[in-house]
Structure 1
């Protein structure tokens, strides 16, 4: 939602504006394996709190930037902080507290916090930007993280004591059983997992970054586009709980297959938003279908990874996988911006995102867990 005002403020192209997101994603993914490796070895509190502080610094510097290059560097700093304090560290930490058969729903609850933010913040940030300017909005984000996330992490980011452990190992496994990092990197099932994450992330990021600019270009106001963005967040919140509960009954792989197919279909609904008759129905369908499923890979893929490689180096392998898939998918925003600049339409980009999401069904279908006797 900040792309249009930033483009106007710095007089830059769509490709240059999209490069900000690319740099943010690259630095975020570079921080993930380091954070995962550290969490396999030291207490989580200093790692995650330092990441949150870096994020605050990045947003404050970005708010005072005088050109697009400084702004891009500042957002790169924020990306390092986000990578060190959010997804990989949070999932790794939760895996030590929650029994395996409950982790699908637990990860859904964890990610629901992000969905709540997606409901509230697009409307709030759009309002702040319209009323006070994008610089004020960026500072507000920084203060919000400084006053809420940093204190919370200092309080809750800890591993369980022996008496508090609720993690129940699967039959024949100990809680820290698993393969070495080198062994896992030689396994085809680990690389199938990475390919799946790469394809899903390429598609999801492309749609996520393009949604508000596409809606504005289609004739929607910035406020209405932000409201649709919030509706997507509401659907994501519901999907986190629904698919988490279903994964306990049907298994993570089956639910991920169905959800990924639905997500691809949801993207196609966006192509009809310009139609006067079908526009609102298309928006509602997209918000519900894509919104409830686009984040499903982040929720359920850790379960597939744990089944494949075990718990012993889970944080490191989750971080390495997200690094590889994240670096590959980091080209998505800039490539999408370039495609829009060249074709002067979002149609080709949305069709490409649909194809990438559909292609992810292949590695998901091929993935299998490791034999229990093979995990030492």
Structure 2
């Protein structure tokens, strides 16, 4: 018996990054005192009115097949919200409902790319992008955003990476893992290149509701981008609905039709009761996200303050999202060694950020998705761990500062 080589072909190096999280989860499930900061799963329960919408739908018998592109009411609600965000009229024909942002990324990859194409990605990037894009047969071209620049876009590097085979750009904004939010000038540089070279641009905007510093701007709102951009959204982070697996893809109607053809074979529609909950969530978007954003802002500030005085590490203060990057090069350990030793010796799990891309080599990513008391304890453990490293092997004690 043999298997298709497809899965092995798309598997990226980032898959191994989750080993430490799985080990931490297993240890915690066995009663060990582990603080898990290695995953972006909000600790909040989904707001009760959203859950009630799903429960009520089930009680009403909403357990049958549904429309492939999603229920009209939900698509219209998403279109109405993004009509304001993008400052142009959208309809349900611009929206297809999918099983989370990851599903939307996979659909976008298969709808736009093929073998022989090149696709540009801003590096570091979320770990599943590599496999998602390789599934199409396209070649991934990484455009580094250096740690020295604060992981910001280098538009000259981006322009230099374009070849006659370049078909599209994929990136997240705000970025995971860096928390960087692209400013209007950076977005315009991307748009200018996309228009000049006739490229698709796919923007994963799952953290756009969790921007702490400044205002969020969407690439798809710029002139000339409506017909060549895909916006990916989700309720996972903004509404504490990671397990519901619900999101959307916003694009020109012709592309939405292509996506619908793929959805027919991939999912055959989403559960109706989940879409009823999602409709309630989208209609109450501002009501839900404003409160959550302030909670995450306080948590971010707590973690940044709690670690910024720790000699031997530097904290990359995020503009958005639910993660902090910490530069651990001053400890003398690789980021992978640091992560595993922190877990084994201090009971705190973080991810080696190098799994997200070479520019993040020497950094670890930690989430601030736990309560403030638990985060404060995590900062205390990390500080003690680094201090112990300093006693064991000598830590660069001149490197404690916050990078903004």
Task: Classify the TM-score, shorter chain.
Answer: under 0.3
The TM-score with structure 2 as length reference comes to 0.22
Structure 1 or 2: more helix by fraction: 1
Kindly indicate whether structure 1 or structure 2 has the higher relative contact order, using CA contacts under 8 Å at least 6 residues apart.
1
The TM-score with structure 1 as length reference comes to 0.24
Structure 1 or 2: more strand by fraction: 2
The structure number with the bigger radius of gyration is 2
